[in-house]
């Protein structure tokens, strides 16, 4: 039985409004694959987090407040995903709690763990993957994977395979800010490059493609390897 850690981008849960169709389809897949795998899902904040963060910044409040409202947004999204999965456990707030819930239930949903400066839900997901010695780390985002430049720019090329070392170099160039939007943040890149957990970055809206990754079939996205 494999252990999967899924970093579920908030942009998939709440692109602008709550995407109930996505949640229904995603939860159906998780219920199916949980029969043969242990699964941890870490949710991002999405549009909800960004709305709160913008409001805080308009008042020129300390950046810590931006982080705090972002963290709570990830937990709100986690509670929503847990509801679609019919999981009624208390959301874990530490690595130890995640491990215990996973042992007891086999599927765990959480948002950000506690408060750590310069940390995003991707970083928390990577920490969990390292702590659990997970077999696979999957980042479900709203683009097809890692690109050589902004995917919205003409000529942007999808990077299908990249080493942990080279991926970390790219991530390190991105300056951290609460609510930032990058396929995986600097902390996550650093952790994953150390533990060498097989990592995939794919577009979560294509759930068939998600299943292709799980089945070891040809997929659209980025694989990070050593």
Number of domains forming the structure of the chain: 1
Query: 35-74: b or e for each residue (b if 16 or more CB lie within 10 Å)?
Result: eebbbbbbbbbbbbbbebbeebeeeeeeeebbbbbbbbbb
Q: What is the pLDDT of residue 168?
A: 85
Region 192-199: what's the mean pLDDT? 93
- Strand order through the sheet with 2-8: 107-110, 37-43, 2-8, 136-141, 198-203, 222-225, 161-163
pTM: 0.90
Identify the CATH number of the domain in which residue 173 sits.
3.40.1160.10
| pLDDT digit string, tens, across residues 112-127 | 987 665 668 899 999 9
Domain that holds residue 38: 2-225
| pLDDT digit string, tens, across residues 62-111 | 677 777 788 889 999 999 999 999 987 789 999 999 999 999 999 999 99
User: How do beta strands 37-43 and 2-8 pair?
Assistant: parallel
Count of Cβ atoms closer than 10 Å to residue 18 Cβ: 15
Q: What is the pLDDT of residue 199?
A: 96
More confident residue, 70 or 220: 220
Q: What is the pLDDT of residue 179?
A: 42
d(CA 63, CA 70) in angstroms, rounded, equals 11
Q: Is the pLDDT of residue 206 over 60?
A: yes
Region 37-55: what's the mean pLDDT? 88
Rounded percentage of the chain residues whose pLDDT exceeds 70: 92
| pLDDT digit string, tens, across residues 157-181 | 999 999 999 988 887 776 544 444 5
Q: What is the CA radius of gyration of the chain?
A: 16
Locus of tokens 């995939």: 200
User: How do beta strands 161-163 and 136-141 pair?
Assistant: unpaired
| Coil, strand or helix at 49 | helix
């Amino acid at each position: 039985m494999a252990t999967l850690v899924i970093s579920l981008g908030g942009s998939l849960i709440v692109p602008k409004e709550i995407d109930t169709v996505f949640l229904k389809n995603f939860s159906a897949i998780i219920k199916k694959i949980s029969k043969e795998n242990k699964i941890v899902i870490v949710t991002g904040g999405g549009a909800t987090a960004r709305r709160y963060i913008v409001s805080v910044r308009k008042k020129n409040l300390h950046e810590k407040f931006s982080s705090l409202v972002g963290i709570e947004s990830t937990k709100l999204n986690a509670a929503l995903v847990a509801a679609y999965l019919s999981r009624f456990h208390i959301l874990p707030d530490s690595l130890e709690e995640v491990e215990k819930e996973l042992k007891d239930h086999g599927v765990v949903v959480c948002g950000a763990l506690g408060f750590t400066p310069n940390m995003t839900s991707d970083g928390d997901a990577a920490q969990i993957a390292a702590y659990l010695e997970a077999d696979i780390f999957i980042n479900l985002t709203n683009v097809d994977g890692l690109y050589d430049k902004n995917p919205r720019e003409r000529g942007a090329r999808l990077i299908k395979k990249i080493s942990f070392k080279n991926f970390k170099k790219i991530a390190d160039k991105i300056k951290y800010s609460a609510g930032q939007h990058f396929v995986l943040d600097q902390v996550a890149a650093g952790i994953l490059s150390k533990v060498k957990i097989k990592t995939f970055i794919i577009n979560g809206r294509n759930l068939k493609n998600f299943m292709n990754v799980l089945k070891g079939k040809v997929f659209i996205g980025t694989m990070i390897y050593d």
